[in-house]
Amino acid sequence: MCIRDRSVAATAEAVCRQQKSLRRDILIAGALLHDIGKTEEISAAAGFPYTDAGGLLGHILLGAIIVDRRLSALKDFPETVRLHLLHMIASHHGTVEFGAIKMPATAEAIALHHIECLDAKIQGIKSAIEREPEGAEGNWTEFLRIANSKVYKK
């Protein structure tokens, strides 16, 4: 599990405290598992190249396969929970044009998509500000695609 998955899970926990109707166990599990397919998509070799499976299938499908295999091996694992988790993996990118297999169709899947998107944007902005050259002039970053604008640094 990467640092971002823990960050997504921590944000999901905070959202669950505010939004009591969300199923905390399902949302937190989805937050921790949504990118599990990256363990087979990306190689640990220098430069982190894509594996053949990663290039052909991508982390979303690989993640669904990994989780489905593990859950299928558990005796009496609830089918409804299995489907929820697989759906969250399949839909966490939000739309087909951004790689989702399905559009999010549960409250937890919709929440996960937005939490993951929020986390990615905040981390991207933080990284861009940290990459600014020492002593860079001005209060604004260069144009950041992740924000679709320049970002105020102060």
Give the model confidence (pLDDT) of 35-79 as tens digits.
999 999 999 999 999 999 999 999 999 999 999 999 999 999 999
Helix residue ranges, H only, 34-106 = 38-41, 52-72, 79-91
Give the model confidence (pLDDT) of 72-114 as tens digits.
999 999 999 999 999 999 999 999 999 999 999 999 999 999 9
Confidence of residue 153 (pLDDT cuts 50, 70, 90): confident
On the CB side of 106, CA atoms within 13 Å amount to 22
Judge whether residue 2 has pLDDT over 70.
no
Phi, psi of 149 (to 5 degrees): -170, 175
d(CA 108, CA 147): 25
92: part of which helix (H) or strand (E)?
none
pLDDT at 82: 97
Cβ-based burial of 26 (10 A; exposed 0-12, middle 13-18, buried ≥19): buried
Give the model confidence (pLDDT) of 9-28 as tens digits.
999 999 999 999 999 999 99
